[in-house]
Amino acid sequence: HSSPLPASIIPEVDVCKSDPWDLPGDSDQQEERFFFSTREIKYPNGNRSNRATQSGYWKATGLDKQIMGANQVGLVGIKKTLVFYKGKPPTGSRTDWIMHEYRLATTQPTQGLEKWVLCKIFLKKRGNYKDEKKNVPVFYDFLATPKVKTSSSSSSGSSGITEESSTNC
């Protein structure tokens, strides 16, 4: 049986209205922070999100990744990667702040309703070549299926959700 997630575990924050260093939590102590947020539509008849903050903006980078259900059956979600830029577009300067935005894949339009997303925000670590391997941020994808070798084909209770291909969504 499933239980609701305690509200204090992942706070609701409008991450696209706040600079990443001003978000709740201790960015010096926590390597990654998670927030539930809504996507504010930039234009009334458009699909683009407004991601401008006081000091800069979040810019999507790369292709969206599809998150597939168990046994690669059915699209369950989309992962978008964004980078924070200081300044105004298009002349802002790139920072090391990264956001992974997870949203459910829906087939029904939600006109007039804000769409909820789960955001993971972290500061990408940089180092010299020798330290590069130990400074790579660790990413625990809560939606990924653990890769466990078993002789049985029965389900072990995992979510059965994996990250699959890249698409332009």
Q: How far apart are CA 81 and CA 64, in angstroms?
A: 7
In the sheet with 115-123, reading across from the earlier edge strand, the strands are: 32-39, 115-123, 93-104, 75-86, 56-68, 162-167
At 38-94, the pLDDT tens digits run 876 655 565 667 688 889 999 999 999 999 988 877 888 899 999 999 999 889 999
**Dihedrals φ, ψ of 120, to 5°?**
-110, 125
Q: Which two tokens stand for residue 55?
A: 């000091």
pTM for this one? 0.65
At 100-111, the pLDDT tens digits run 999 888 766 555
Q: How far apart are CA 77 and CA 18, in angstroms?
A: 25
Domains assigned to the chain: 15-167 (2.170.150.80)
Q: Which two tokens stand for residue 90?
A: 């298009």
